[in-house]
Structure 1
């Protein structure tokens, strides 16, 4: 199976992607610590919209996590408020891709759409997998939705030993249209919490844990975090 036999779907606040900015610890505020999920919010420079950082741990191979995120057909089963993910382009040579994500927004707001490009890398020493993404405007907007003007993001999968992986999901996005920043900031906890809960419910499935990607290397018994 090629690493991009199915395109990776990235997740962030309101759109299915996560922000690549790593906030300094002193600028972050812990806003939730429940059922194995911790979430911090932080002020993003030059933006009225907060970013978030969410962390959890799961028992999984690295390929298993990549396989779950690559399964675009089942993305809406676990990515909170995601209606659909449409693969657009891929490049197996440099492990890059683009997808269109439609997100279900609560009434009275219209649904949101984001076209996102991304890239996956693995650190050869730590074996940490990082998937970064950002919004692009290579596709015309759909009439059903408001195009999100900005989405940037990352997932980080860090092996910590004994088959466990620490997942870090960070996010910041501009949903576009007229939505008060205060309303957007209220969802800082809701989106990552429900998404990570959904991931943890599905990650043990054999279809993910039996997956193998040649470009993703797993830690050995003697390999430390």
Structure 2
């Protein structure tokens, strides 16, 4: 199921606009904070899709009925670009478990590339809600391979994908591979360049968050 935040006007649109804006992107601290705030917005919306159980909370003056989440959550992200978005989700789901995956594009001289997964740290996923986040969903290959690697740690009761900006091609690839998952997008772009970068997109989220890296 697709949940597209841009379909409903909200403050999330402001965060996405600033993430895209070349005049704002120069401030890496502001870029990280906007990505984190976007994660908080999506986390709140995502919380409405979870299962809840009734509780009674003791206050100084009596008992207060409420409903609290019934499931354990695991937040997973793809290093390094996903860290600010991950932190935003963790601000909302502060008792969740955490998983980290390194998945990157290994480029070849002919211009092609393949996705490699090198590092994986993950708790038990059996019957837990898995939330996988990455700021950009271009071809969808990284997200699919990272999630498939995570599933070696157990079968989740549900899977949610959280993305700041996705491309139509990547969205369709993700839907084909995980047809029962919830996909949360702040914005959806239609185009990819020949090198599989999202247009208009926002550039390299990892570099904008943490500085440029040396290329292989």
Give TM-score scaled by structure 2 length. Answer: 0.31
Higher relative contact order (CA 8 A, sep 6+): 1
Judging by fraction of residues, say which structure has more helix: 2
- Bigger-Rg structure (1/2): 2
